[in-house]
């Protein structure tokens, strides 16, 4: 029985990371002014964090953000994405895991603000203040899209997954 639990704790995050990277690569909109893109990475992070908690949210967030940047040609963002999306997943899971809907919405808001602030700092450090400021609305669109996709899926998946 313990072996099954260990396998589940290792395999589930790995599957969610792989799924998140693939979906984020399929649904991608380049944004030239910001050196980045809009994708559904945040939706996968939100789903993992709300369904499985802060540990899985941290792993799925950090590693899928890191890997997505690696395979997308944005290597300058890899370490920043590891931290920003990892923190996003951890906080959303910490606040929203097994919580009522209003608390989950609050968790998504906090997670979104972490991403917006994190990439503002990242773009400002890597480039200058202007790309940091220009990236705010596009990052906001990305996290809002992620929340809009994630919340209904979490509602639908919680019962069949018996969570």
User: How does pLDDT run across 117-130, given as a tens digit for each residue?
Assistant: 999 999 999 999 99
- pLDDT tens for 22-66 read 999 998 888 777 777 889 999 999 999 999 999 999 999 999 999
Name the pLDDT band for 6 (thresholds 50, 70, 90).
Answer: confident
What average pLDDT does the segment 4-22 reach? 91
How long, in residues, is the chain?
Answer: 163
* Mean of pLDDT over the chain: 93
User: Residue 1: what pLDDT?
Assistant: 54
- pLDDT tens for 90-112 read 999 999 999 999 999 999 999 99
Q: Which of 63, 38, 40, 34 is nearest to 126 (CA)?
A: 34
The full set of domains in the chain, from first to last, is: 2-27+38-158 (1.10.1760.20)
User: Residue 163: what pLDDT?
Assistant: 67
What average pLDDT does the segment 145-150 reach? 97
∠ at Cα 73 (128, 26), nearest 5°? 115
């Amino acid at each position: 029985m313990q072996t099954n639990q260990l396998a589940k704790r290792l395999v589930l995050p790995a599957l969610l990371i792989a799924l998140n990277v693939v979906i984020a690569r399929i649904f991608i909109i380049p944004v030239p002014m910001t050196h980045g893109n809009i994708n559904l990475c945040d939706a996968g992070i939100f789903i993992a964090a709300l369904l499985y908690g802060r540990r899985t949210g941290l792993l799925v967030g950090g590693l899928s953000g890191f890997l997505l940047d690696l395979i997308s040609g944005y290597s300058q963002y890899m370490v920043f994405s590891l931290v920003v999306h990892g923190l996003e997943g951890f906080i959303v899971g910490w606040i929203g895991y097994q919580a009522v809907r209003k608390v989950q919405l609050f968790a998504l808001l906090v997670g979104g603000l972490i991403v917006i602030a994190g990439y503002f700092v990242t773009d400002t450090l890597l480039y200058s203040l202007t790309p940091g400021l220009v990236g705010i609305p596009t990052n906001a669109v990305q996290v809002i899209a992620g929340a809009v996709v994630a919340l209904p899926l979490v509602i639908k998946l919680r019962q069949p997954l018996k969570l």
